[in-house]
Amino acid sequence: MRINTREELVKARERYLASLNSQRKKILVCAGTGCVAGGSLKIYERLKEIMDGLGVKNCVMLEKEPHDSVGLKKSGCHGFCEMGPLIRIEPMGWLYIKVRLEDCEEIIQKSILGDECIERLIYCDKEGNTYEKQEEIPFYKQQTRLALEHCGQINAESITEYIAVGGYQAVAKALFDMSSEDIVNEVIKASLRGRGGGGFPTGKKWQQVLNQKEEVKYIVCNGDEGDPGAFMDRSMMEGDPHRVIEGMIIAGIATRAHYGYIYVRAEYPLAVSRLQTAIDKANKRGLLGKNILNSGFDYELKISQGAGAFVCGEGSALTASIEGNRGMPRVKPPRTVEKGLFGKPTVLNNVETFCNVPSIILNGADWYNQYGPENNHGTKAFALTGNVNNTGLIEVPMGTPLRKVIFDIGGGVKGGEFKAVQIGGPSGGCLCYNDKDNHLDLPLDFDSLKKVGAMIGSGGLVVMNNKSCMVEVARFFMNFTQNESCGKCVPCREGTKRMLELLDDIVEGRGTLEHLELLEELAETVSETALCGLGKTAASPVTSTLKYFRDEYIAHVVEKRCPAGQCKALVNFTIDATLCKGCTKCARMCPVGAITGNLKEAHTIDTTKCIKCRACIDGCAFHAIHEV
């Protein structure tokens, strides 16, 4: 049913909201990639089955008129991925964690038919405190969710629910109450900066495209979230696809562009299907297509799928890929705002940036400016992963200290002491905490991170404990960049290869102090001469680890020792004679016969034969075998 005018949109909202509010209870089953992998869709089916079996009136899609039933919804990512599969029960706001199929019957009986919270399914922290309500859990309590506002709160596949919570009102406001210039100025005033990495002012970019004289212009959404360890954009596309679309339409109105493309990486099949459903529904409702809300504004939106190339996250490579070419960056200028997709002026922003737009338009720049420090306003979503207790998707105001993110929200470091956090993916750097440098109290925003040689990037935060070797981490990223280098420019193609060789030498025990000098020299050359942003920043993981963890590099090249005990070539195994009982188990387990000794006497390892397979360590009941 088409929504033809602004008045109809307002009426539709009232009706849908009344219908949404009339749902007696709501069960929101997390259907993000993480929880789906944990079996949440089966849980969803089971809940439906049980309610149908018991004759409980329920609905999976919002009904047009108010009614009295239980709403069962597949929602977007709730964010607390570590605890999945997650289920939220409304109106109470209870969050059930690690739900299993066997729990479904009890959930329906106690929490849906009755009003009882099931104690064993709620979150319990390390101190034994339990939390019934989702909003009270420390992981959520410390967050400010603006871009992720609807993720986990509404049915991700329903346009009616999105409209019910105020969706597309910002498009209406932009169409009828504001000129293109007004929109651009509002975004400039909000000082929204690109959330994809660089942090370029979004309003300025839009203004440049608005000023172009060309007839045809494009809006492109970068959903090629290739940074390993980041999944914010994926969650937004999966969990609140209409918000991405709405942001893109507003960008179209602001720059007088009538065509949009969302470029999604092929590794995100769920995001592609949710976006496609959302686009189809918006077209059917007349919120996309010709003459939106009878304003005379046309906007056509398409999805373009990537095919697995990290470099396509770079602007000119991405547009080349949409055009059906090899995704290789080109020399700039001309810049994308002048000659982008199909040679036309193009606005290219990432998913999270577009997600911030609707609320800026609706609530105004002043409202937005209350979050975050000067020139870095708003919030930022982060994917908190690695050696941290509460992995997941979070959103905090810009400028939130790292300590708060890792310890208060993340619940602290897992499996060891805090050592470092890698931020910004292969283009970012490692932050640390020691006598010289304290990055834990560093505010997370564009400008502060730049000062210490890191960047927000798209927002991946990988926490590492003291068992992680920083040289190995640098090697890991260099290996990634080297694999993903498109090969067009020499500095990146050859430079990353040589840097990887040097790092390989160091972790395999062939390194010398000259290796470090050469690494630094190469890093400088590559960052100064590479063609695109990815090449220019390819050396960041190396330079930042060399800066903050130089001791560790020195230990590798001078003492031939890996302080974290991760670099296999530099580790030797020994048997502690005081602990060894001479049970002969290790000697029998060793696949190469490197362990010898008599029964009931301490054994020894011949390190020249040892292949470091760890079979002996894992097998020793007396913990007598150690790495040195």
Partner 1 sequence: MLSEQEIAKLNTIMEQHAYDKTQVIAIMQAIQEEYRYLPEDALRYAAKELKISEAKIYGVATFYENFSLQPKGKYVIKVCDGTACHVRKSIPILNEFRNQLGVSESQPTTEDMMFTVETVSCLGACGLAPVCTINDEVHPSMTPQKVKELVAALKEEKA
**Is 325 an interacting residue with respect to partner 1 (CB under 8 A)?**
yes
Instruction: Count interface residues toward partner 1 (CB under 8 A).
Output: 55
User: Residue 42: helix, strand or coil by DSSP?
Assistant: helix
Is 234 among the residues that bind partner 1 (CB under 8 A)? yes
Question: DSSP secondary structure string, 315-352?
Answer: HHHHHHHHTTS-------SSPTTTS-GGGS-EEEEEHH
Q: Is 425 in the site for partner 1 (CB under 8 A)?
A: yes
CB neighbour list of residue 559: distance below 8 Å, 6 or more residues apart: none
Which CB sits closer to partner 1, 148 or 163? 148
3-state SS, residue 289 = strand
| Per-residue exposure over 330-362, b if at least 16 CB sit within 10 Å of its own CB, e if not | beeeeebbbbbbeebbbbbbbbbbbbbbbbbbe
Q: List the one residue from 71, 167, 203, 229 that touches partner 1 (CB under 8 A).
A: 229
Q: Is 34 in the site for partner 1 (CB under 8 A)?
A: yes
What single-letter DSSP state applies at residue 25? E
Segment near partner 1 (CB under 8 A); pick from 65-73, 202-210, 462-470, 497-505: 462-470
Q: Give, as one character, the DSSP assignment of residue 587.
A: H
> Quick check: 266 binds partner 1 (CB under 8 A)?
yes
> Per CB under 8 A, does 226 bind partner 1?
yes
Q: How far apart are CA 210 and CA 217, in angstroms?
A: 9
Asked if 462 is part of the footprint of partner 1 (rule: CB under 8 A), the reply reads yes
Pairing state of beta strands 346-350 and 218-223?
parallel
- 242 contacts: CB under 8 Å, gap ≥ 6: 159, 162, 167, 168, 278, 282
Token couple for 497? 């290869």
Contact stretch for partner 1 (CB under 8 A) within 104-112, 213-221, 387-395, 433-441: 387-395
CB nearer partner 1, residue 283 or residue 305 = 305
Q: Does residue 339 belong to the site contacting partner 1 (CB under 8 A)?
A: no
By beta-carbon proximity to partner 1, the closer residue of 54 and 266 is: 266
Question: 259-264 and 300-305 as β-strands: parallel, antiparallel, unpaired?
Answer: parallel
Residue 224 in the binding site for partner 1 (CB under 8 A): no
Identity of the residue, 236 or 580, whose beta carbon is nearer to partner 1 in the bound complex: 236
Shortest spacing between CB 428 and partner 1, in angstroms? 10
d(CA 42, CA 588): 46
Measure the CA–CA gap between 388 and 386, rounded to whole angstroms.
6
Q: Which is nearer to partner 1, 168 or 261 (CB)?
A: 261
310 makes contact with partner 1 (CB under 8 A): yes
Contact 590, 536 (CB under 8 A): no
Q: Which residues pair with 130 in a beta bridge?
A: 124
Q: Name which of 526, 228, 166 is nearest 358 in CA terms.
A: 166
Buried b (16+ CB within 10 A) or exposed e, 577-612: eeebebbbbbbeebeeebbebeeeeebebeeeebeb
Stretch that binds partner 1, among 180-188, 197-205, 460-468, 596-604 (CB under 8 A): 460-468
Candidates 308, 343, 364, 593: give the one binding partner 1 (CB under 8 A).
308
Closest CA to 604 of 625, 620, 627: 625
**Binding residue for partner 1 (CB under 8 A) from 9, 25, 29, 38?**
38
Nearer CB in complex with partner 1: 21/483: 483
Helix, strand and coil in the chain, % to nearest 5: 45, 15, 40
Among 241, 358, 372, 392, binds partner 1 (CB under 8 A): 392
* 360 scored as a contact of partner 1 (CB under 8 A): no
Among 18, 54, 101, 307, interactor with partner 1 by CB under 8 A:
307
Binding mask 50-89 for partner 1 (x = CB under 8 A): -------------------------------xx-x-----
Of 82 and 157, nearer to partner 1 (C-beta) is 82
CB of 398 to partner 1, least distance (A): 22
Q: How far apart are CA 151 and CA 236, in angstroms?
A: 7
Restricting to residues 470-489, which ones interact with partner 1 according to CB under 8 A? 473, 476-477, 480, 483-484, 486
Asked whether position 263 contacts partner 1 by CB under 8 A, the answer is no
Q: How far is the CB of 460 from partner 1 (least distance, A)?
A: 7
**Which segment (260-268, 502-510, 543-551, 590-598) binds partner 1 by CB under 8 A?**
260-268
Q: Minimum distance between the CB of residue 276 and partner 1, rounded to whole angstroms?
A: 12
Sites of contact with partner 1 (CB under 8 A) = 33-34, 36-38, 81-82, 84, 225-231, 234, 266-269, 304-310, 321-328, 383, 385-387, 391-393, 422, 425, 460, 462, 464, 468, 473, 476-477, 480, 483-484, 486
